[in-house]
Structure 1
Amino acid sequence: MAAVTVSTFGVSIAASAASPVAVGARPVTLDVDASNHRVFVANSLATTVSYFDASAVSPTAATIAVGASPSAVAVDSGRHLAFVTLPTMNQVAVIDTAAAMPTVLRTIPVGANPNGIAVDQISGKVFVANYGSSTVSRFVGFDPATAVDNYASVGAGPVGIGIDRGTQTVFVSSASAGTISVFSGTGATTAPTVATITGVANAGSIAVHSNSHRVFVTDSTDNLLYAFDGLSSSPAVSTITGVLAPAGIAADPESGEVYVSELNSNRVSHFDGTLAVPVVTTFSVGAGPRGIAVDSGSAARTVLTANSADDTVSRVDGVPLVPPMITSGMPPEATIGVPYTFQFTATGRPTPVFASNLPLGGQFNLNADTGLLTGTPTTAGDIVFSVSAFNGALPAAQSDYVLHVKEAPTPTPTPAPSTMATAGSGHGSGTGEQGSVEAGNRLANTGQDVSTSVTFGGLALVTMLLGLASVIWIRQKHARN
C-alpha cells in the first residue's frame, strides 16, 4: 500500500489562528452551519451543547441544554438544523441553528448507544451509527413527523459515518470489526445491500470529499489514515502514515483539503485530498483536539477543533480557494477533414472545470472536466467563441478565442505512366523491338541474334579448315611414299 509520511514543511497557516473560544466540559465533536457561521460543540462531560459565531473577532459561547453526555454533532446548513447524538438516552436531539437563541426542537429515538452521525445536505436525511446495536438508523431531519428506519446492519461497533453527497453513498466505520460498511442512502425500504471493505483496523472517524469521491478514515491506534476511492466496488486501500493519534477528520467540500486533528500532539495535519500522494503539513491548536470541522461558508475556510483537554475551540484560517485563471493561448488553425485537438488549461484551487459557448452539435466539442477541445471540421472559416473556467471561487475566468478552419489542400495530380515503346539503337540493320534490348543485335529478316550467328559460323569455318588441312597432309604423305 502506498504510504505518505507527515512532514512539517510548507506554508504554515498557523499564523492566522484566532484566540480560542471557551466552551463546556470536555468538548469532543463539533460542526458548523456554513450559512451563518454558527458553531455547535458537544460537551461530553456536561448536558449541553455550546454555540458561538465563528466569524466574530472575539466570540463568547452560549449553551443549550440537550441531555446527558452529548457525543456527536452534524449540521444541515441549508435547513439550519443541528443533530446531536445522546448515547445514554438512545436519542438524537434536533436544534434550530438559525434562532436567535437556539433550543431543542425535538428528540428522535434511534438505536442503542448512538455514536457517529451524518446528514445528507441534498436530501436532508440523517444517518446515525448505533454502536450498541451495530445498526444505522435513518430519518428525514427536517420532517417533525418523520419515521425512523432501522435502516441497515453493519459491522460490529460502528463509530464513524460519512456521506458522499454526490452519490448519496453512506460509509460506516467499525473499529471492532476493522471494516467499512458501504451502502446507498437512497433506498425506499430498509435492508439495503451492504458491501464490506476490509483491512482497515481500528477504523475511527470518516471524512468524504464528495467532488473527488475519496474517503478518509482515521486509525488512532496505529497512527495512520486510510484512503480509498469511494466509487470503486473493490477499492484499493492506501495509507497515510506519520499522523500522531488521529482523532477527528474533516474535508473541505470545495477545495478538497483534508484536516486531521492529532489528539496527543496538539496539532492538525492537512493535505490536498484530491491527490494520490499528498504532501502533509501541520499547524498547532489547543490541547487534546478531537472533533474538527471546516466553515466552508467563510472566505478564510476557517478550521475549528474541539480541544478536549483544555475545554476550548481553536479557530485557524484554512487553505483558501484560489480563483481560476485560464493560461492557454490562441488555438492553432484547423483543416477541413483533419482530426483536431487543443488543450485549454487553467490554474486555481480547487481544479477548475470548463464551459464554452461553442454550438451544440457543431464541429468541435469541449470536455468540461479536462478542457480538451476535439473535433473534425467540415466547414472553412473563423469560429468565434469563449471559454470559461469555474471552481467555486470568484471571479470565474473567461477568455475569447478565434479558431480558423482552412480548406483542405488541393492534391497535385500524379502523371499517368507512358505506354510508348522505346526503339533500340543497336548495330544491326533490322527494325528495333520494345524494351531495353538492343534490337540491332538481331537479324532483320529472322530476328536471330547476330552475335550468336557469328559465333556458330566461326566454329563451322574452323572445323572445315582443319578437315581440309588433314586431307592435304594425308595426300602429301602418300605422294612421298
Structure 2
Amino acid sequence: MRGSQLSRRGLFGLVSAGAAALLGGTAGAVERVTSVQVGGTLSALAVSPVTGLVYAADQASGMVLVLDPDAGRVVAALAVGGEPSDVAVDTERIYVANPPGGTVLAFDSQTHRLLSVVSAGAGASALAIDPRANLVYAVSGKTGTFAVLDSISLTQQDLLPAPKPGLAGIALDRGRRRAYCTSPTTNSVEICDLDQGAFTASVPVGASPAGIGVHELSGSVYVANSAIHHLSIVDGSARAQVKTVLLRSEASSLAVHQGSDVVYTNGGQNGLSRVDGQTGTLTGELSLGVNPGDVAVDQRTRTVYVTDPLHGTINVVRDF
C-alpha cells in the first residue's frame, strides 16, 4: 500500500509553517510548528523508533496514514477497515487496534504489507508493545479485557479479565514488568503484573483518566485526567498518586520523552503543555490555536506530533 495506491488522491499536503509560544520554550531555541493537512478523523499517533515516520489512525477512512515529517506529506496509507483507534510501532512491525472487529492488525514496517489479523477481545482499542519480550498488549474500552499477543507467531497468547469495566489507555514499565491501564469509569489506574498475568493493584487518580505514560528509568507514571484540569503523577513502586500538576485545560493524551523525563500533553489552552517529570512542574505552554487530540514524541529528536481531529491536520512541533 504505497503512496501511489492512496484512495484519497490529492488530499495530502503541506499547509503552513510557523511558530507560537505562550511561556518557556526550550532554552535557547524557538519553537517551530508545521501543520500538515491529511484529512479524516485522526484518533491516534505513533512514531517509528527507526525511520521517524509517523503513523496516524484515521477512523473516517479506516486507514492508517504514514507521514514523512521531513517531506511534510503523507507517503502511504495502510488499509485497516473498521474504525482504527490506536497504532503502535516497533523496529519491525506496525500494530493497529480495530475495536469493531475486536482485532489487532500487524503490518510489516518496511513493506507495509499486512501480515496477520489477530483476535484481541471484543472492543480492543488501545495498544502497547514490549519488543524485548516479543509481546503486544491490547486493552478493551468495551469489555475491559486485557489481551496478550505473541508478536512472533501473531497469535493471542492470553485474554485476562480486567478488574474494572472499560479500560481506556495502557502504558508499560517493561523493566519492572508492569502494565498500567486507565479506568475512566472508576477514576483509577489498574496495575497488571505481567509475570503473574494478573491485575494486582488499583490506584485512585483524577476524574475520567484517559491517556497514560511511563518514564521507565524512574518508574513514574503520568496520567491525563480528561474531566479535570490536572495531570496525575503516580509512584509505580508505592502504587500511589504522589502529585498533581495543574493544567489550563483537561488532558486526554500525553507522551513521555524517556531521555529527559519530560511529559507533553494536550492539557494546554488550545495547545500543548510541557511538564518536567522530575520536579512535577509545568514548564511550558505552546498555543496551537486548536484543541489538540492525540500526542506522540520522537524519542530520538524530541519532535512532538499533535493531531487536530477537527481540521484533519497533524502539527509537527520542534524545539519545545
Range of TM-score over shorter length: 0.7 to 0.9
Instruction: Give the 4+ runs in structure 1 shifted more than 3 A.
Output: 3-9, 14-18
Q: Which residue of 1 aligns with 2:186?
A: 133
Paired residues in the alignment total 262
SS of the residue 2:117 aligns to: strand
- Partners in 2 of 1:7 and 1:20 — Cα distance? 21
SS of the residue 1:103 aligns to: strand
Residue pair 1:40, 1:49 contacting (<8 A) in 2 also: yes
Q: Which residue of 1 aligns with 2:47?
A: none
Displacement of 1:168 in angstroms is 1.1
* One-letter amino acid of the counterpart of residue 152, structure 1: V
| 1:195 aligned to which of 227, 243, 246 | 243
Residue pair 1:244, 1:265 contacting (<8 A) in 2 also: no
Q: Which residue of 1 aligns with 2:271?
A: 224
Distance of aligned partners of 1:153 and 1:63 in 2 relative to their CA distance in 1, 3 Å threshold: same
- Partners in 1 of 2:102 and 2:197 — Cα distance? 25
Q: Which has the larger radius of gyration?
A: 1
Q: Which residue of 2 aligns with 1:168?
A: 219
Residue 55, structure 1, aligned to residue 110, structure 2: yes
Q: Which residue of 2 aligns with 1:6?
A: 33
Q: Which residue of 1 aligns with 2:304?
A: 258
Residue pair 2:102, 2:122 contacting (<8 A) in 1 also: yes
Q: Which residue of 1 aligns with 2:77?
A: 20
Residue 46, structure 1, aligned to residue 97, structure 2: no
Distance of aligned partners of 1:52 and 1:5 in 2 relative to their CA distance in 1, 3 Å threshold: closer
Residue pair 2:139, 2:167 contacting (<8 A) in 1 also: yes
| 1:214 aligned to which of 250, 262, 270 | 262
Residue 96, structure 1, aligned to residue 96, structure 2: no
| 1:32 aligned to which of 83, 89, 98 | 89
Distance of aligned partners of 1:16 and 1:196 in 2 relative to their CA distance in 1, 3 Å threshold: closer
* One-letter amino acid of the counterpart of residue 223, structure 1: N
Unaligned runs of 5+ in 1: 279-481
Q: Which residue of 2 aligns with 1:405?
A: none
Residue pair 1:81, 1:97 contacting (<8 A) in 2 also: yes
Displacement of 1:208 in angstroms is 0.5
Residues 63-82 of structure 1 aligned to structure 2 (within 5 Å): 63-82=117-136
Residue pair 2:192, 2:201 contacting (<8 A) in 1 also: no
Residue pair 2:180, 2:190 contacting (<8 A) in 1 also: yes
| 2:159 aligned to which of 90, 100, 106 | 106
Distance of aligned partners of 1:59 and 1:135 in 2 relative to their CA distance in 1, 3 Å threshold: same
Residue 155, structure 1, aligned to residue 206, structure 2: yes
* One-letter amino acid of the counterpart of residue 50, structure 1: L
Distance of aligned partners of 1:152 and 1:232 in 2 relative to their CA distance in 1, 3 Å threshold: same
Q: Which residue of 1 aligns with 2:13?
A: none
- Partners in 2 of 1:181 and 1:240 — Cα distance? 20
Residue pair 1:171, 1:181 contacting (<8 A) in 2 also: yes
Unaligned runs of 5+ in 2: 1-21, 25-30, 37-67
Q: Which residue of 2 aligns with 1:322?
A: none
Residues 469-480 of structure 1 aligned to structure 2 (within 5 Å): none
Percent of aligned positions with the same letter in both sequences?
24
Q: CA deviation digits over 1:426-471, x for unaligned, max 9?
A: xxxxxxxxxxxxxxxxxxxxxxxxxxxxxxxxxxxxxxxxxxxxxx
Q: Could you state the TM-score of these two structures normalised by the residue count of structure 1?
A: 0.50
Q: Could you state the TM-score of these two structures normalised by the residue count of structure 2?
A: 0.74
Displacement of 1:198 in angstroms is 1.5
Residue pair 1:5, 1:242 contacting (<8 A) in 2 also: no
Distance of aligned partners of 1:248 and 1:271 in 2 relative to their CA distance in 1, 3 Å threshold: same
Residue pair 2:184, 2:207 contacting (<8 A) in 1 also: yes
Distance of aligned partners of 1:12 and 1:75 in 2 relative to their CA distance in 1, 3 Å threshold: closer
Q: CA deviation digits over 1:276-316, x for unaligned, max 9?
A: xx3xxxxxxxxxxxxxxxxxxxxxxxxxxxxxxxxxxxxxx
Higher relative contact order (CA 8 A, sep 6+): 2
- Partners in 2 of 1:110 and 1:88 — Cα distance? 13
Residues 409-448 of structure 1 aligned to structure 2 (within 5 Å): none
Distance of aligned partners of 1:12 and 1:60 in 2 relative to their CA distance in 1, 3 Å threshold: closer
Residue 180, structure 1, aligned to residue 210, structure 2: no
Residue pair 2:271, 2:286 contacting (<8 A) in 1 also: yes
Displacement of 1:122 in angstroms is 2.2
Residues 113-128 of structure 1 aligned to structure 2 (within 5 Å): 113-128=166-181
Distance of aligned partners of 1:184 and 1:12 in 2 relative to their CA distance in 1, 3 Å threshold: closer
Distance of aligned partners of 1:8 and 1:161 in 2 relative to their CA distance in 1, 3 Å threshold: closer
Q: CA deviation digits over 1:392-437, x for unaligned, max 9?
A: xxxxxxxxxxxxxxxxxxxxxxxxxxxxxxxxxxxxxxxxxxxxxx
Q: CA deviation digits over 1:167-193, x for unaligned, max 9?
A: 110001111122111021123xx4x24
SS of the residue 1:45 aligns to: helix
Displacement of 1:8 in angstroms is 5.0
